[in-house]
Structure 1
């Protein structure tokens, strides 16, 4: 093991800023639109610190004690995350069975360090991902760090042995370390940009070790450049101050000003955030400036020391108390206080003792042969304490296993299986409706103006196309009851861009010709220009109806609703179906995820559509075929018969 490195308190301050960013983001504080950038800061700092330790060891000892290194990492990461996970499983069993169910599924992946790939490869149903997330979702970042700790030391050791066998000196070895690390980092950056598809869910790119490793690798590169003196150790005071201050300021501006749902983050934004963090760390390592003094203040140091524990505890606490929905200030305060208190307990009684080797110390005492009465007494005390800990751990483990196996599970949506079956049923209903329209052939040229029709006749006579996601699946029956001649095409998990593609297929391939489009596929992804494309596709004169969204667990709810309302205001023949406003304060409308609909909610949603449509077509005053109006046809026939009878009588 290499010599102990100089302790720099400013790095604790960077940790503190990172965890504050993440905490604020999960609390949905408006000022931290992209607080998840704090994870990127953590990655860079971890890469720097770990690589510095590894380089010191390999250069001084000629090797890396991988067993010792990995054991130290296990002691640092696993006990704290295990303690958090066990407590959350037991508490959620009583407090929130939905969170308990999701936590059970993710428990092993989170503790064993493959949570990110579990989320990528274990394709969880859209319903299971909807609403309150798993309390261990945030462990994806710990998994990436764990995998980095497993692989990167092997790469460094391999490079060192290769260079040593060729007789390369320290400087040349440093260049090789830097070159390989830079190459790997750039490959990772390219993978993020190439694999990101704005038309698809971004989880693969966001959670992938290969697409996120560049932040750790650039931190590692900084450690290499610093330790091998490839960069100046001390810049001039003014340069150091400007470089650090500007980098830190831009990092904060990005966090505050750029929306978290922006494609920018996958097309270079994370890379920019990484480089800015590298520059901040670099300046903190050098001369003392106001920034390094600020980052070294006691408050930030205290938070930084406990940053890992705060990161572990804050997210499940937020989910258990407010289900991840933006809460009132006093609920938010409770979540913060409870997160910090639990983090302090974890730091004081679990992390610190284990990190400082209390387990090894106890084992040495138990194995030793006491030479004095005092040593014998100490050994007995340790033995008793160890037995209590082992017994408690055994009982806790058995209880946890029994709890996870036998406690009844509760899906995020109680009606999960029913809704999935309903989704298949609605697909068949769509096909039948389209077949019915095709069988009827060309409609009668005899039309009637909507101004001359009753509300029921307008609803009956219109041929509207509803394109929706899983929320609209719940509304299908009520929609067809109100609009018997319209088409509802809905699908679970449909994102906005895919909804646009569905519209394209109806117009280009199915040759659908109706009076208006209801676009309700806006709940699963941010809006990125699709509204303009939809408006252009259907033509400037056709009516377009857009639904606002209620998705309290997603970060883009406010942004999407603002875009929808603004678009409606700025475009003719475009109307708002304000589901967000109509559902405000109506908890009875929603399933357990606060997003999908129960029967009362489905009816309310359908009524929103009905009111918007009636209001629009009374103003639009368009012509629709009489042949669609069963009541109108009957009335026309009756009138004809009456007229014939009167003529005969006369």
Structure 2
């Protein structure tokens, strides 16, 4: 098995992403189970954002090169992937609450709508719902805030990809990557600019504008990877990749134990 990728049933599969998904899932899960022991496990969400941006850009570029990218098909695929499972989770949870805590169901309804329509992160900001102080007394849908950011990103991605494709054709591949990288850096700067000492970090933690940089950086990597497959990396870059992999994964795991979500240096 290759760290970088292989062909599976005619499709390109990047094995290293499976490890990163596992790392993200373990971090988030243990964070909610043992927040005091793993205060930085929430960083797994940021890793999910990078992976989402990477895979979305990677598949879009490959489909475009094969003349298969269609906006209508893109949106329909997103709907089919998100809503069936989401409705099952939401309706099952509400059904259980109806029997266990029937009075809480009425309070859940506005949040339910925000989840379905993809603006739950902004809804929680409006509620001043601090993520780190609500871990033990939270709505069953609190942790779906990240889906709001992803759904908003899914909505605008065809426009971003169209801009990239336009620059790719008109100027060159590096131009499109450069513009997306500038967007990513611009978003990354928003968070430290908005941060103030002793502030409630809810707005920074949930905000689409302060979080989209991870998705955009992932997109830049995904688009770059299509144009630089493993076969064209060369043995020295391959060796560097194998050496960097355990180091970077180790740093990520260490961050799970160190980066408290309310510490100033995080923002």
Give the structure-1-normalised TM-score: 0.37
Q: In structure 2, what is the Cα distance between the partners aligned to 1:24 and 1:99? A: 27
Contact preservation (8 Å) 2:168, 2:176: no
Q: How does 1:118-517 map to 2 (within 5 A)?
A: 118-120=123-125, 122-123=126-127, 132-161=137-166, 163-164=168-169, 166=170, 168=171, 172=172, 174-229=173-228, 233-236=233-236, 238-266=239-267
Instruction: Report the 3-state secondary structure (helix = DSSP H, G, I; strand = E; otherwise coil) of the residue aligned with 1:6.
Output: strand
Contact 1:110 1:139 in 2 (8 A): yes
Larger radius of gyration: 1
Change (3 A) 1:50 1:219: same
CA apart distance, 1:230: 9.3
Q: Retained in 2: the 8 A contact 1:102–1:134? A: no
Distance 1:208 1:125, change over 3 A: closer
Q: Which has the higher helix share?
A: 2
- Structure 1: tracts of 5 or more residues without a match: 267-650
Q: Distance in 2 between matches of 1:181 and 1:189?
A: 12
Correspondence for 1:14 among 16, 20, 41: 20
Distance (whole Å) between structure 2 residues aligned to residue 29 and residue 196 of structure 1: 23
- Per-residue Cα deviation, 1:506-551 (whole angstroms, up to 9, x for no partner): xxxxxxxxxxxxxxxxxxxxxxxxxxxxxxxxxxxxxxxxxxxxxx
Distance 2:167 2:246 in 1: 40
Per-residue deviation, 1:227: 1.5
Evaluate the alpha carbon distance shift between residue 88 and residue 178 of structure 1 in structure 2; reply closer, same or farther with a 3 A threshold.
same
Q: How far 1:99 moved relative to its partner?
A: 4.9
The corresponding residue for 1:78 is 83
Partners in 2 of 1:125 and 1:137 — Cα distance? 9
Deviation at 1:183, TM superposition (A): 0.5
Corresponding position of 1:103 = 108
In 1, the alpha carbon distance for the partners of 2:175 and 2:229 equals 12
- For the 8 Å contact 2:27–2:42, the answer to whether it is kept is yes
Distance (Å, rounded) in 1 between the aligned partners of 2:107 and 2:33: 20
Higher relative contact order (CA 8 A, sep 6+): 2
SS at match of 2:12: coil
Distance in 2 of aligned mates of 1:135 and 1:220: 31
Equivalent-residue separation in structure 1 for 2:216 and 2:164 (angstroms): 15
Distance 1:29 1:193 in 2: 24
Q: Give the alignment of 1:571-650 within 5 angstroms.
A: none
DSSP-derived class of the 1:26 partner: helix
Equivalent-residue separation in structure 1 for 2:201 and 2:261 (angstroms): 12
What are the superposed Cα offsets for residues 184-214 of structure 1, whole Å, 9 maximum, x if unpaired?
1000100011112233211111111111011
| Distance in structure 1 (CA, Å) of the matches to 2:19 and 2:242 | 16
| Mapped contact 1:115–1:140 kept (Cα < 8 A) | yes
* Structure 1 vs Structure 2 CA RMSD: 2.5
Q: CA deviation at 1:113?
A: 1.3
Q: Distance in 1 between matches of 2:62 and 2:29?
A: 34
- TM-score, normalised via structure 2 length: 0.86
Instruction: From the superposition, tell whether residues 183 and 162 of structure 1 become closer, same or farther in structure 2 (CA, over 3 Å).
Output: closer
In the aligned structure 2, how far is the partner of 1:125 from the partner of 1:5? Answer: 42
Kept in 1: contact 2:167–2:175 (CA 8 A): no
Q: 1:206 to 1:125 in 2, by over 3 A?
A: closer
String of CA shifts for 1:289-310, please: whole Å, max 9, x gaps. xxxxxxxxxxxxxxxxxxxxxx
* 1:68 aligns with one of 73, 76, 92: 73
Partner SS for 1:44: helix
Give SS of 2:40's match: coil
